Amino acid sequence: MKEDWIVTISYKNKNLETVVEKEYTFDQYTEMCSLGLKHILMDIEDVFYYFQDNKQKSEWDQEAMNRFNVIRHKMLDQANAIQRLPQTLTYKGNSPTELSINEYITERQKNGLPI
């Protein structure tokens, strides 16, 4: 069942009107999110380079290097967690492939959760 999950993304213009919708598999979507975080990390690294007068990392002052490494560590942890999500996702101890949609809907309704 997990392999059949689809994420639909609506891309909107400045007036918030949908201009295109795309569908991705869950695996594709989590990979895109992970890559997006890694690209943000590269942008942050560019800012650090700029404020370090474009010196090599080995020439950065220690405080800047420490701060960048903290950001880098946190962002890579999150990017990797997102990327692993399709392999680690479970529902109450069951693999999503073992869960029927009827069980899912019934459980959500019983707990007053949105479907």
Helix and strand counts by DSSP (H, E) for the chain: 3, 2
Q: From residue 5, how far is each of 23, 46, 96, 102, 109 by CA, in Å? A: 10, 36, 10, 15, 20
CB 48 within 8 Å of CB 60:
yes
Residues of the chain where predicted confidence (pLDDT) is lower than 50: none
Q: How far apart are CA 51 and CA 88, in angstroms?
A: 39
Q: What is the largest CA-CA distance in the chain?
A: 59
Q: How far apart are CA 44 and CA 29, in angstroms?
A: 23
Which pTM does this prediction carry?
Answer: 0.68
CB 21 within 8 Å of CB 9:
yes
State the DSSP H helix or E strand holding residue 30, giving kind and residue range, or none if neither: helix 26-51
